Structures are given as C-alpha cells and as structure tokens.
Structure 1
Amino acid sequence: MDERRLREYIALIKELLNCPSGEEFVILKANTQLVDEDLIMVMEQIAIQAEEQGATGTTEFLRNLAQELKGMLTQATKTFDAGSERPSAYLELIETLMSCPLGAEAEILREHQDLIDTQFILTLAQVAGMMAEIGERKASEFLQGIAAPLAKGMKALPAVQPAQNYLDFLGEVLRTTSNSNGNAKVVYPLLAANLDKLNTYFAQVLQDWVKETVEKVQPSIAHSVVVDLVNFSVLIQQFSLGNKAENLEIAIIGYQVALTYFNRDKYPEEWAGTQNNLGNALVERIIGESGNNLDAGINCYKLALEVYLRDTFPEDWAMTQNNLGTAYKGRENGDKAENLEIAIQYYFAALDVYQRSVFPYQWAAIQYNLGNVYCDRVAGDKAENMEIAILSYNAALEVYQPNLVPQQWAMTQYNLGNAYKQRIRGDKNENLQKADECYLAAMDIYKRYRDPEE
C-alpha cells in the first residue's frame, strides 16, 4: 500500500467517523474505489489505537463497520467469482436494467434472452441483497421484483443441474429438519455448508416444490411436510450466517406456503402458530418498506389472537401480546404517542400471565421492554416516565444475572445508564455517576463476551 493510498483511507475513515448516523454506507458507496481489504485493515489498526487511548465509542464503531465490510466483500467475492460463467455480462445487464426508463425492463430482457438463466437469477438476487445491506432499499426491491417472476418462469424450462442442486438441497434440509425434530445443532451445519444456496431462487424452488407435493401426496404425508417446512422456516429465520435479508425472505415464503395448507378451521393451533411466526418474520424483514412490513406483522399477530384466547392458550396469548407490544413500540405508521400507549397496554396484558414466580425470564423481558417504552413515552409527565423506566430496568436486573444471561444483563445495564443520564429528578451529578457505573458494567461484559479468553 503506497502513502497516497493510505492517506485516502485515513481521510475516508475520518469522514465516516464524523458523518451523521446512518449515512456511513452512502459515503462508502460514493468511495467504492477505496472499499477493499486494505481499508478494513487500516480501520482495525485505528480501532486498536483508539482503544489504547480509551476512545471506546470510536473503537466499537470502527470494529463493527469493519466487520460489516468484511461480510459484504465476502458476499461480493462469491457473487462475482472469476470462475463463474459470464459474470461481466450479467453485471452489465443488471446495470442496464437499473438505469433504463421505467417500463423498458421487459424489452431489455427480451433483447438479452441468451443471458436469462439460473445463474443470472442468482446474481440478481445476490445483488439485491447487497443493495439492501447498504441501505439501497428501492434498488433492492426493484431487482427482487425482476428476479421473482424470472425464477418462477424457470420451472417451465428443461431441468438443469443448478436447479436440481437446489431441489436436492431442499430435500436434504427437510429430511434433516424432520429427523432431528428441528434441532438447530443438527440443521445449522448443513445450512452453513450451503450458504450459496440460501437465496431468493431457493425460496422459489421451496414454494413450488411444497405446493406441488402437498397436492399429490396423502393428507398425513402432506401434514408432515408442512410441519417440517414451518420448523425449517423458524430455523432459517434465526440463522445468523449468510444474508440476513434473504434468510428472512425464505422464512416468509415458508410460512406463507404453510398457511395455504394450515387453514384456520381444520388446523386452528397450527394456523395461529404460523401466523405468529410470520408476524415475527415480517417485523424483522429487511426487504420492502419497513412501515408496511411492521403493519403486516401486527395484522398476523392479531389474527393469531383469534385462536390464542387467554383462557384456552394463556402462554401463547401472553407471548403474542408481548410481540404486539414490541411491534407497536417500533411502529412507523400512525401517531407515535398513540402507538407507544398501545404498546404499554399490550405489555401489561402479557404480565397478567407472565408473572415473575412462574415465568421469571419472560417477566424480566417485559420489564426491560417497558423500560424502553417509558424512556420514549410522549404522553404523561416526562420526569415520572423516566422514574418508571428506571424502576422497570432495575426490576429486570433482579432476574437477569451476569453469569447466567450476560448479554441481557449488559443490555439492560446500558439502557439503565441512558435512563439515568436523562433523569430529571434527583441530583444531576449523582445521576450521571450512576449512568457511568451502568455503562462500565455493561462494557465489562461486552469486552468479556468479545474476548472470552480474558
């Protein structure tokens, strides 16, 4: 690395450190010629220097950003491997589609029919995922909108080896899920070994195969297949490797396909459970408009409550009440103050069932959630809201112990520190001292979690 290049890296890192939160990837996109492994190395070196100087905020920011860039570069390498066929032509066609006038996409695709194959669809999906990761949601949605119908149309073409590979993988996944009763320790190694297949095309293969299978086999076999599908969807939704946006899309497709079989009248419990799972996936969804995704998730939770009645399914009812509380807390559509009041109502409803003596960790989780809501609450007296938040966080810490649930304990300590920092009542200096104590306690756990050998 020459001196001029190093100066450019340092200037870019300074710009990233000083930019408003959320604009980092906009700046990186404008400086793509500098985004490489050497930039990551310089970031990590500066992070080490910052840590030695006690600048923990700078250290954490740079390390987190470096980790994200590593993931993006790894994905890009997989997508544009020099050994794959016609990668440049695929990319040129995608660029043409993204820059063409609205409505011209179909004609451009017709003019390049020789490039429309399975690998092109996979490349489309992977580029869409990368766009979502850097905040370009509209571009991601645009490419997903092109990839989905193309993938659906592929089943009309003669079977090719890549498609068969996906079908073989799908069969192995469902068998492994079934044989292990959805055991993550058994299924996740299989997924980790096939990250290249966890994409939009796989979701389409899954959808088509399950629908066709359910129509042809005996009801008992069909039911078993759909149960395995739901269990797999739960696992892929929680899977930490690969592309998070695409993992969620696979889970969403899985739940939606399952709901075409699990109708409410015949399978009420399965229907409600799948609605709740679909709600969770939609609330987490990365692709699409986040406000609409949240509202769709809320609708799924409310549908689940048509079956999950308090008297007949108390635990499921409480779980869904808690999910609704969290969804309304983060809701973007509607009036913010009203959404927060609704969230509080749902959390307190859940506490009717989640009592500390019977469900200590669920109780603590809702106390933590209430602390978050009261910190943000618009209605009521600000000083009183902050006192309730502090009481809620401290209540959660009565259950959360650092040696048992270190991440939850540290997270609660950190948010309690924020609450003390914003506290209106009491002595200001004492509140700030308590805030610092909470931050230090949380950072000690985070440091041990990051460096377990210490």
Structure 2
Amino acid sequence: MIVADQKRFRAYQNLIEELLSCEKGQEKDVLKSNQDLIDEELIQILLSEADKVSSQGNEFVSNLMLSIAVCIGEELDSISSTIDRKKIENLDRQQKQNYLKFLLQILEVTAESQGRKESIYPMMMDNLDKLDSSFTEILRQWGVDVLSENKSEDAESLAAILVEFGNLISQFHAGDKANNIEIAIVCHKMALTVFERDKYPFDWSTTQNNLGTAFFYRINGNRAANVEKAIAAYNEALKTLKQVPLPQQWVAIKYNLANAYRHRIRGERSENLEQAIEAYTEALSGYTRDTSPLDWARIKNYLGNIYYERIKGDRGQNLEKAIEFYNAALEVITARINPTEWATIQNNLGNAFRNRTKGNEAENLEQAINVYKQALGVYTSNTYPEEWAMTQNNLGNAFRHRLYGDTAENIEQAINAYRAALQVITREACAKEWAMTQNNLGNAYRNRIEGNQFENLERAIAAYNKALQVITRETFPQQWATIQNNLGHAYRSRIKGSQPENIQQAMRAYKKALSVYNRRDFPQEWATTQNYLHSVSYVKAQSNRPQSLKSTICSNLLYQY
C-alpha cells in the first residue's frame, strides 16, 4: 500500500498501533479522538497489513485488524449519517414537509397495493428528485419516532410495510442506485428494531436476509466492509432457522451466503471459495431437477464457476468438475427457453475448455471456440454489449492459443476479436475488463506474424501501458505483475530506440513483477520471472564486450516467452 503523504502514513501506523494495544471495547473511543484519520485509505492500509501478518502465521492479529477495519467502516457510515443530518437541518420547513408527505404517500401505496410494482414504481418515477440522501435521513428519523410511539401490533404492521418498501426500492432501476440501496438498508434496519429474533423469528430471519442482500449490492462505503456486513446478516438469519425449520428460506439464504463468500475480499481467497462451495452444495440439497429445474440448474452453473476459480485441490480435477456442472445446467437451460442464461453458461463452459488440462489441448481449444461462437449467436453488441464484448475477448484468447489452422491467421482473428470488444467496453464503464482486454491485445500484437514487426511491438507496448493505467499494484497485484512481465517481453524484443535503453526498460518491468511474485507465495512465477531478468541482465552485461564475442554469445542465447 503506497501513501503519497509519508507524514500521514506514519500517523496511520501510529493509530493502528494504538488500536491494537488498547483495551477491548475501547476501539471506538480511540477512533473518535482521531477523526481526521478516519477514511477509506486507513481501511485499505489495515486490510493490506492484515494480509501481511496472516501470511506470517499470526491469524489473531490479522483477524483483529479486520475487525478494526469493519469498525472504521461503521464509523464512516456514522460520519456520513451526521452529514446527512446536517443537510436536513439546512432544509426549510416546506422542503421537509414535501419529503415527509411523499414518504407517507409511498408507504400508504405500498400497504394498499400489497407491494405491487405497477402501483409503486410510477409514483417513484414522478418523485426521483426526492429519492436522495435527505429522504434517507428523514425516513430514519421518522422511523425512530413512529416505531417507538406505536403499540406492538401497529409497529409490527409498519415494520412489514418498511420491509416491503425496502425490497421494492432496492430493485428499482431508475434514479440513483446508490441512494436507493441506502434507503433499503434504513428500511430493513428500522424493521429489525421491531422484529425481535425470539418474538418474530420468521420476520427476523427474512429481514436479516434482505439486509444482507442490500449490503452485498451496496455502492456507498467500503466494498470489503459491505460484503462482511452481508455475510454477518446472512449468518444471523440462519441462526434463527436452526430453531424454526423453514427449508425453502434456509436454502435461499444459503444461496445468498455462497454468493457473498465467492465475492469476499477479506480472508484467504482459497478458504472463501471453499465456504462458497459448501454453501452452494447445501443450497442445492433443497432443489431437484424435477421439482425446481431452473433453480437446480442455476446453482449447478454457480458451482461450475466456483470450481473453475477454485485454488485448493487439483487444478485439472477442478476444471473437470466445472465442465460437469456447466453441462448439467445446460441440460435444463436451453437456447430456446432461456437464451441469455444459456449464452452465459456457454461462455463459462468455453472458459473451462480453454483452460482444460485433461484431454487433447487442440480439441479443447476448438470446443472453446465453438461454444463462444454459440454464445455470440445470442449476445449482440446492441442488445447485450458488455456480455458480447467479454465473449469476444474470450474468443480472442482462444484464437491466440489455437493449435489448429494457420498461426498467423489465428492471431489476426484474435486481434479482430479484441478490437471488437474494445469498441464496446470503455475504461469509464468497465475499467478492469477494458484493461485486461488491452493486455490481451498487447500479447497478440507482440506475437503477431503479419504486418510490420516494428509497429507491432510499439502497439503492444502502448496496449500494456494503457492496461497499467487501471491495473495497479495496489488494486490488482497479480494481474499487474503479469502485465509488467508482458511489458518486459515487449521491451526485450523492441526494435525502436536504443537497445541499452530497451533492455533497461525490460529489467525495470521484470523487477516490478518480482515485487509481487515472491519465492514463497508464487514460486513458479518467481522462478520464471527471475529467468527473464537474468536473461536481459546477461544481454546488458555483454553489450560492452568486443563485437565478435558479443555476436557469438547472442547467437547462442535462448530466450523463452
């Protein structure tokens, strides 16, 4: 984690030391006395340090740091709420009355229509200007006042309406999505002040599940902290169901929990995926192909995704399991009945075949190309632009590694696919996907046979540098190291400019990659990159030798890409 202001970085470190050494329960007091240091950067430093101490075997301190990060996330939410309250104070009386009038009207329509979208969404569309942070705070204040004043039955009825409205606005696609989710979170939190676990176990569980889903899709706040809150809410919901058996609700929550673990940022990635596999498998036990074919097939697809990403176990076996799950899902989800889902699973299946280690490699790549093309029969650049672009990118990867056909033509096909993808996905809308496609395009140009080699290498370097504008060491360290290696290869082969300068640039790139690829965590990548670095270092060392000797050495030098 790099912080530009070293003085502030030291202040962060001092605060972290104080938080770790203070008595249990005093963390919030320490944070209150250091309000000027409470920000997203502090959370990122804590997460980075937690990973470091975890890798050193100190799980206790690592978990303590993660807990503090969650606490800081909550403190940031509190600060945000304070800002919202100040905004409310700046509203005049008429403005407050307009917000409150709209709130009461929308809750009344929600109750009378029994949550019918056809009745509620038009009203929301007519009042998009009121669905903002001020509305969220007025809703919070109104909820606290009204729910505390009403008798038990009235409070229960109001809480049920809040849950319904919270679900509706979280699914409302117009307006500001971030504000919509904040409103949903307030609704569910207010309802939970009424639906106590022991008295209303079903409502408690349902609302905790809704709250978890709202946090999972939350846009505001720290993403890692939001996923942790989602997991905590899902686990709270499941605790109740141990006492009140509700099989279908249990299955639904297990499904949500699995999804949260799959996308979890904190903790060991390998363990998170194992947790996801366990939860998806348990969720699958609640469905059969005969009684709930679509749900059964969707979970099969998700299990395929997890096994495709799985770190533990044998890579080859994991990919075979992924292919098995995808094929099972495709037995139910067909192009005729569910074309878009079918295309998604075909794309997933293509990825598994493209990376498959068993069977004939050439045939696996042909299978991948075939299913990508089938997916593109459904996805078009107009109807499903992002999905179309991602499938084009995958198709490009398959053509770039294709063993059948003419190599030069395959690389041209790959370049065309990457270019097509980049006509649709933009850095602004899909930053990471855009960057990785730029990296893939760079690889294709670096290995291109047709065209001018001089220009091909310049295009490759330009594409890698574009990718590195988004993929940084802090945000995506492994991908960043991979692109640095690729950039090193391009400079190693570069024709333009002076050779000594190009060799120096290659060495810089390889050294950057090695700042991530250490011997312990990435032994294979470390060894390979060390080989690259030694190779260019050797070339540099020979640059001052007599020309005849240098020619002999260079002619015998082997360099592997």
TM class, shorter-length:
0.5 to 0.7
- Is 2:299 aligned against 1:356? no
Q: Which amino acid aligns with 2:172?
A: F
Task: Name the residue aligned to 2:245.
Answer: 312
Comparing 215-224 and 172-181, the one that deviates more: 215-224
2:225 to 292, 298, 306: 292
Q: How far has the Cα of 1:277 moved from its partner?
A: 0.7
Query: Who is 2:117 aligned against?
Result: 184
Matches within 5 A, 1:21-100: none
Equivalent residue, structure 1, for 2:373: 440
Query: Displacement of 1:166 after TM fit?
Result: 1.2
Q: How does 1:42-441 map to 2 (within 5 A)?
A: 103=36, 148-153=81-86, 160-309=93-242, 312-441=245-374
Secondary structure class of the residue paired with 1:306: helix
- Tell me by how many angstroms 1:272 deviates: 0.6
Secondary structure (helix, strand or coil) at the match of 1:379 reads: coil
Partner of 1:446: helix, strand, or coil?
Answer: coil
Amino acid at match of 2:103: L
1:388 CA drift (Å): 0.7
The one-letter amino acid paired with 1:314 is P
- Matched with 2:476 is none
Deviations 1:147-193 (A, max 9, x none): 53243256667852222121111112111211121122222222222
Residues 449/264 of structure 1: CA separation in 2 closer, same or farther (3 Å cut) = farther
Q: What is the distance in 1 between the residues matched to 2:77 and 2:253?
A: 31
Alpha-carbon displacement from aligned partner over 1:24-75 (angstroms, at most 9, x marks no partner): xxxxxxxxxxxxxxxxxxxxxxxxxxxxxxxxxxxxxxxxxxxxxxxxxxxx
Q: Which amino acid aligns with 2:318?
A: N
Q: How far off its partner does 1:220 sit? A: 2.3
Q: State TM-score, norm by structure 1.
A: 0.65
8 Å contact kept, 2:343–2:378: yes
Q: Which residue type is aligned with residue 292 of structure 2? A: F
Tell me, which stretches of 5 or more residues in structure 1 are unaligned?
Answer: 1-100, 106-139
Please report how far the alpha carbon of residue 291 of structure 1 lies from its aligned counterpart in structure 2 after TM superposition. 1.4
**CA distances 1:71-113 after superposition (whole Å, capped 9, x unpaired):** xxxxxxxxxxxxxxxxxxxxxxxxxxxxxx98599xxxxxxxx
In our comparison, the structure showing a higher alpha carbon Rg is 2
Q: Structure 1 residues 414 and 186 mapped into 2: Cα distance closer, same or farther (>3 Å)?
A: farther
Q: Distance in 2 between matches of 1:446 and 1:353?
A: 32
The alpha-carbon distance between structure 1 residues 444 and 310, as it changes in their structure 2 partners (threshold 3 A), is: farther
Separation (CA, whole Å) in 2 of partners of 1:104 and 1:160: 35
Distance in 2, Cα, partners of 1:270 & 1:102: 37
Contact 1:141 1:287 in 2 (8 A): no
> CA offset at residue 233 of structure 1?
0.6
1:434 corresponds to which letter in structure 2?
A: Q
Give the Cα–Cα distance (whole angstroms) in 2 for the partners of residues 189 and 141 of structure 1. 34
Q: Contact 2:88–2:137 at 8 Å: present in 1 too?
A: no
How far apart are the structure 2 equivalents of 1:225 and 1:449?
A: 44
- The 1-side partners of 2:243 and 2:373 are apart by 41
Find the aligned partners of 2:243 and 2:297 in 1 and give their Cα distance: 20
2:326/2:349 contact within 8 Å kept: yes
Change (3 A) 1:346 1:180: same
What residue in structure 2 maps to residue 89 of structure 1? none
Residues in 2 aligned to 1:196 and 1:326: alpha-carbon distance in whole angstroms = 33
- Contact conserved, 2:163 with 2:191, CA < 8 A, in 1? yes
Classify 1:304/1:203 alpha carbon distance in 2 versus 1 (closer, same or farther; 3 Å): same
Q: Shift in Å at residue 293 of structure 1?
A: 1.2
1:392-440 alpha-carbon deviations (Å, 9 max, x no partner): 1111111212333332222111111111111111222322222222222
Rounded Cα–Cα distance in structure 1 between residues aligned with 2:277 and 2:381? 34
The 8 Å contact of residues 326 and 343 in structure 1, kept in 2 or not, is answered as yes
Letter in 1 for 2:207: T
Cα distance in 2 for partners of 1:444, 1:201 equals 46
| One-letter identity of the residue aligned with 2:168 | L
Call closer, same or farther: CA 1:429–1:194 in 2, change over 3 Å: farther
Name the count of aligned residue pairs. Answer: 318
User: How far, CA to CA, are the matches of 2:337 and 2:255 in structure 1?
Assistant: 23
Deviations 1:198-221 (A, max 9, x none): 222111111111221222233322
Q: Counterpart of 1:327 in 2: which secondary structure?
A: helix
Compared CA separation, residues 332 and 405, structure 1 to 2 (3 A): same
CA contact (8 A) 2:212 2:230 kept: yes
Q: List gaps (5 residues or longer) in structure 2.
A: 1-33, 39-72, 385-561
Structure 1 Cα separation of the partners of residues 306 and 342 of structure 2: 18
